[in-house]
Structures are given as C-alpha cells and as structure tokens.
Amino acid sequence: MRLDKFLTDAGVATRTEAARAAREGKISVNNIIIRKSGTHVDPVCDKIIYCGNVVTYREFTYIMLNKPEGYVSSTDDPKSPNVLMLLPERLRRIGLFPCGRLDKNTVGLLLLTNNGPLSHKLLAPKNHVEKKYRFRVSDVLSAEDIDRLESGVDIGGYVTAPCRLEMTGENEGFISITEGKYHQIKLMMSAVGTHITFLERVSFGPIELDNSLERGSWRYLSENEQSLIENAMR
Ligand code: URA
C-alpha cells in the first residue's frame, strides 16, 4: 500500500499534506525518514510515524460526534449544513457516514464510521440496539401517559415496541427505545398529546456520550469503545 494512501485512510492527513510532510522529513517508516509519499509500506508490520505520532493501521474509522442543533445527518440536503462539515477536511474523504439519523434540532451522540456492514447491523430492527435519549416535553406526563408510551403507541399506522422511561421531573426524563422510526420520539410524544421541546441522544448500544465533548466536537472512539461496538454485533 502507498504511504500516502495509508495516511489518508487512517484519517491523519490528506494526500497533499502527506506529500508535504514527507518532503519536510516528518515521516519515518521503521525509523528511517521517508521523503517520497508514494513509497510502498506494509500497513500492518511497518512502524509509521507521522509528525511525531505513531499511526496504527485500522481498517475502519469510528468517530463520536456531539451533534449540535442546526445540522442534518444526511448529506443529500444541499440547503442545510450537515454533520460531516463538523469534521476536518482529512476526515471528509474517507467515506464516513452517520450511523443512523438525528433530526436537525436533536443534539448529542452521533456515531460516524466507514464500516458499512457494522453500521447496517447496528441499525437493523431485528438486533434491537438500544438508543437512550434525554427529553423534555411541553406538558406534564401523567402515569397513564408513561404507561401508554412504555407499552407502545400508534404513531400513524405503526404501533411502537415496548420501551422504557425514567422520569427526572414531571415533564422530563430519559427514554430508551430499540427502534429507529423517522421522528419516532416526537411522534410518540404527540400520540400522548404533548410535544418534544428538547431531545438529546445520550447512548447508542454500549457507547455513551462523552460528557467532556462539547457540542459540535468530535473524537475517535477509544480502543475499548471500538471493541465494545464491534463485539456487540458478533
Ligand atoms: N426520535 C426523534 O423524534 N428524533 C430524533 O432525532 C431521534 C429520535
């Protein structure tokens, strides 16, 4: 594999940045400075250092984004800014896409990856991966509303699967669902006569939103989180 492809796939540099770093003597392979970014490397066995950092080969990239309001998850709406715009240029070229969608005004945990098969499994309804959201609604939820939401409500010809609510106040709490219908939580709340005024995803399967990550910021999943998510679908 070419050294520049290795570095772009790893998301650490664009091809141009890799070529410049090589010319400037900032890349070494097995402790030898390499000045040509087209040099052939072994992605698994070679020790590659880019600007002082060891770059480990990973077939796939996994990113945790704390989605802010105002960004759409899909890339096919040319009128609105999309979540990929929150990533640096080098990470926009490696085929990352959001694993599931959050509405434009929903905030919180969004996973991005270029592992298509894994994303597909995480989103497949039959795998019942749990998504937990912090919510606030415009009206007080009664015990009966909570019962109805937990048992399943009709959201326009479809009855939702059982879910869990933990109330932290009379009009706010957490809701955990295992499905991902379009506008599901908003429609569920409408079905009991109220509406969502705030919605934040706080976990997706085994991955929890990192509270130290500011809205609009991202980080790579840790080794542990990557294993958790890969093993969850084995
Ligand atoms: N349910 C919704 O209504 N919106 C989201 O963004 C996610 C779940």
In tens digits, the chain (234 residues) has pLDDT values of 999 999 998 889 999 999 999 999 999 999 999 999 999 999 989 999 999 999 988 889 999 999 999 999 987 788 899 999 999 998 998 999 999 999 999 999 999 999 999 999 999 989 999 999 999 999 999 999 999 999 999 999 999 999 999 999 999 999 999 999 999 999 999 999 999 999 999 999 999 999 999 999 999 999 899 999 988 877
Spacing, Cα 219 to ligand 1 middle (Å): 23
Helices in 24-152 by DSSP H: which ranges?
A: 116-123, 143-151
Question: What is 62-124+207-232's CATH number?
Answer: 3.30.70.580
For residues 179 and 125, the answer to whether their CB atoms sit within 8 Å is yes
CA distance 131 to 58: 26
CATH architecture, domain defined by 130-204 = 2-Layer Sandwich (3.30)
**Ligand 1 site, residue 106, Cβ cutoff 6 A:** yes
* Nearest atom, ligand 1, residue 131 CA: 8
**Ligand 1 site, residue 160, Cβ cutoff 6 A:** no
CA distance 77 to 98: 14
For ligand 1, atom 3, the nearest C-alpha belongs to 183
Helix, strand counts (H, E) of the chain: 6, 13
CA distance 41 to 44: 9
* Nearest atom, ligand 1, residue 180 CA: 8
Structural domain spans, the chain: 3-54, 62-124+207-232, 130-204
Question: What is 3-54's CATH number?
Answer: 3.10.290.10
